[in-house]
Amino acid sequence: MVLTYKPIGLEDQAAYQARLAQCPEVTSDYSFLNLWAWAPAYGLEWAWTDDLVCPRQSWPRAAFWAPVGDWRSVDWPVFFESEPFSKSVFIRVPEPLVLLWQSIFGDRVIISEDRDQFDYLYKAEDLLSLKGNRYHKKKNLVRQFEKLYNYQYMPMNPDMVEQAKALQEDWCVWRDCDSEGQLTAENQAIARTLVRWEHLSGVLGGCLLVDGRMAAYTIGERIFDDTFIIHFEKGNADIKGIYQAMNQKFLEHEAENITITWVNREQDLGDEGLRKSKESYHPARFLKKYRVEFLS
């Protein structure tokens, strides 16, 4: 089997999402929006077989990502007999696939847990209602926001996209994005998403306006029938409670007519502040990911 890699393109969006729907577990890394938006930053590309889509990255170091498709129907020994997979390293591999590979290959694989890449999974009802003592501070901040500001929620649309671009530019000035590689890459991924907004399927956005001006926005994606992935969320930190309100209002409005059970707020990348923020919302569980090295 010789794999032919090509750029991740919008023209393959529907076909990829059909493969993704066959995966027993979907972490945030493998949503179409995540792969496509971050492709320039990681040098991501993919190859297609009859059963799988195989992403790989070239930066900051070469590595394969987990193949996407119905893992249970693949003849993995045959798959791994071919180049370039012998002596390969796979990253961001979801736990169910790791366990499957381990059961087949035993000590031919070296497995390392990657805590920095764990997805935080929350019960949607918890983030919507903010009930109980553990959410007391969050709910107070949302209430203060509602009382202090003349605000309006708007779904993301072409007019809002332009305002979101302007807020993102301001946010990058406030945070000095150019001085930090990860923020620069994220800014590029957000810009790519906003520019092609109308061409992305399954992607949802929400905006909070204060006195008619954009104060915060969220970009999410529905995966399966019961899960939202929150990809990007930015706001004016000078507005008290803006992030807590954006989090809650987005779910309140966008999940109003559909059944959403879970909210995936992605990983913390080992950033201490981000980890503390994500843990403060009390995740119900994690979607674990691993680094897997195949020996010859």
Q: Are residues 39 and 155 in the same domain?
A: no
Domain count, the chain: 2
Q: Are residues 127 and 16 in the same domain?
A: no
Check residue 81 and give its pLDDT: 82
Q: Are residues 126 and 253 in the same domain?
A: yes
284 within domain boundaries: no
Q: Are residues 180 and 88 in the same domain?
A: no
Measure Cα distances from 269 to 92, 235, 263, 264 in Å: 12, 20, 18, 15
189 within domain boundaries: yes
Q: Is 200 a residue whose pLDDT tops 80?
A: yes
- Tens of pLDDT, residues 260-286: 999 999 999 999 999 999 999 999 999
Instruction: Name the pLDDT band for 67 (thresholds 50, 70, 90).
Output: very high
83 within domain boundaries: yes
Which CATH number covers residue 260?
Answer: 3.40.630.30
Q: Is 85 a residue whose pLDDT tops 90?
A: no
Q: Are residues 184 and 197 in the same domain?
A: yes
Q: Are residues 80 and 129 in the same domain?
A: no
Q: Are residues 90 and 110 in the same domain?
A: yes
Q: Are residues 43 and 152 in the same domain?
A: no
In this structure, the dihedral spanned by the alpha carbons of residues 42, 58, 5 and 201, taken in order and rounded to 10 degrees, is -10
Mean of the per-residue pLDDT values of the chain: 95
Q: Is 1 a residue whose pLDDT tops 80?
A: no
**Span 11-39, average pLDDT:** 97
130 contacts 248 by C-beta, under 8 angstroms: yes
**Span 196-217, average pLDDT:** 96
Q: Are residues 15 and 153 in the same domain?
A: no
Check residue 225 and give its pLDDT: 82
Q: Which domain holds residue 182?
A: 119-266
First to last CA, the chain: 17
Q: Are residues 95 and 202 in the same domain?
A: no
Q: Residue 88: how many CB atoms within 10 A of its CB?
A: 16
- Tens of pLDDT, residues 143-177: 999 999 999 999 999 889 999 999 999 999 999 99
Q: Are residues 147 and 244 in the same domain?
A: yes
Check residue 220 and give its pLDDT: 94
97 within domain boundaries: yes
